[in-house]
Structure 1
């Protein structure tokens, strides 16, 4: 709550949706909402770095442990046994900044073209899974959640460009969805312009902020 959430949703949204802690409130339901777990908090898929570094005790590159692309570490626990153990991996994670989500490069290709699981011979696409998961869970669309958060509804391509600055992305979305009313909430949320000093736009800042307040205030 102190070190992470304000950096994700920004201080303004933190103050708006969460505010100072006043103690446990037994009337608050801390249940995790469907839209938070299925869409909003999965904004973090856009922040996953495509490279995994393994660093020595001085947090420097180790020639014997070269950087790995993310797809090279999926389901490879043998690397921990044969390639230096857990410490170099933890150092690499600590010293590597999250990937910066950009409107023209949201989820990196290690996850959209090379994601694989042991039960599947081919590769999967995490972005497609995120979109389909929202549909499987029956989540209302992007504009419905903007209304829930008291944000202006977006009805035209011109209005969409006010919240998504990359016009090419807006054109692609309109080509695929025809209307902003059809946009999946996960996609609409991750592609919005960031709030100041944040890593989310207004919609996900609202959903994440409301959820974090409920988790904090309703936790005995």
Structure 2
């Protein structure tokens, strides 16, 4: 997809920029030294953008405070706990962290200096032509378009590009991304929606109503849709059950997905000794390095590597929302 490609190219260019500077500053370093240090810095930048700017929009500001996910403005956090397992949890991988599939639009925005264009998403699968068009500036135009185009809501509705026309072959046969997600959870033996509600300390649903004892975090129309498909709330699969919840205040996902995502990123922050805010001598950053990394922001990287003259302060929000 051009959107994924544009972000990946942006970080690739940032990697090369840093590697060039490190090579000039350290003429005795070999290629492996330069690569390893550059990789470490870029990972720190990505972690900072994720925890400082992206997560609050996804799980909601209250949840990031509850789990202590916001980085310090300066210095080391030193939160490493060797008893915490940072491994990606099965349930996280197969359901909650696939919520973004419902954020996709049916079109890819392409914002050039002269025109605002769109291309059908289903025509862009596995076709890098758009990203590398315009003498290599295609990734910049896709990136700028993404920053100024609205996403779909994180709900039970999914665009036809990934529901009916995913990776369509020459005979017109295609895949359904959402059914793949549901089936993947079953193949992995992941318990259903109610089991994870209990895990997160959320009310258990005994019926399909939205009052006490029911699907209290669903709009009535979404609860009715689940009732049509499932015989009992215990039968609801994790992905559709969590995806159709009402979003957390200030967040994109509902209470269940917010809980599982926040718990996973908490484990990653506290259970990984390579987390960028840890001040370990052999694996961490010097104080000045760390504070420099904490100045990293997505608009800064986009302006630098997409060669943009202007961009809203927060690319995660539409310009009209600022």
Same fold, TM-score > 0.5, yes or no: yes
- After superposition, the C-alpha distances for 1:2-51 in whole angstroms (9 at most, x for unaligned) are 10111101111112233566422222211110011111101111111221
TM-score (norm 2): 0.61
Q: 1:75: how far off?
A: 1.7
- After superposition, the C-alpha distances for 1:67-106 in whole angstroms (9 at most, x for unaligned) are 1111011122234455654332222223323222345xx2
Matched length: 212
CA contact (8 A) 1:18 1:210 kept: no
Question: Are 1:164 and 2:218 an aligned pair?
Answer: yes
Equivalent residue number for residue 50 of structure 1: 106
Partners of 1:119 and 1:140 in 2: how far apart? 37
Between 1:202-211 and 1:77-86, the stretch displaced more is 77-86
| Structure 2 CA distance for partners of 1:11 and 1:78, relative to 1, 3 Å | closer
Partners of 1:96 and 1:184 in 2: how far apart? 31
| Structure 2 CA distance for partners of 1:75 and 1:157, relative to 1, 3 Å | same
Higher relative contact order (CA 8 A, sep 6+): 1
Trace 1:83-94 onto structure 2 (pairs within 5 A): 85-94=138-147
Equivalent residue number for residue 70 of structure 1: 121
The gaps in structure 2 that reach 5 residues or longer are 1-50, 72-76, 274-322
Between 1:71-80 and 1:192-201, the stretch displaced more is 71-80
Trace 1:1-220 onto structure 2 (pairs within 5 A): 1-19=51-69, 22-23=77-78, 24-57=80-113, 61-62=115-116, 66-80=117-131, 85-103=138-156, 106-116=157-167, 122-159=173-210, 160-165=214-219, 167-220=220-273
| Structure 2 CA distance for partners of 1:119 and 1:208, relative to 1, 3 Å | farther
CA contact (8 A) 2:209 2:215 kept: yes
Q: 1:56: how far off?
A: 1.5
Across the aligned residues of Structure 1 and Structure 2, the Cα RMSD in angstroms comes to 2.2
Q: 1:116: how far off?
A: 1.4
TM-score (norm 1): 0.87
Q: 1:219: how far off?
A: 1.9
Q: 1:211: how far off?
A: 0.3
Between 1:6-15 and 1:108-117, the stretch displaced more is 108-117
| Structure 2 CA distance for partners of 1:77 and 1:25, relative to 1, 3 Å | same
SS at match of 2:58: helix
| Structure 2 CA distance for partners of 1:217 and 1:79, relative to 1, 3 Å | same
CA contact (8 A) 2:96 2:242 kept: yes
Partners of 2:203 and 2:139 in 1: how far apart? 47
Larger radius of gyration: 2
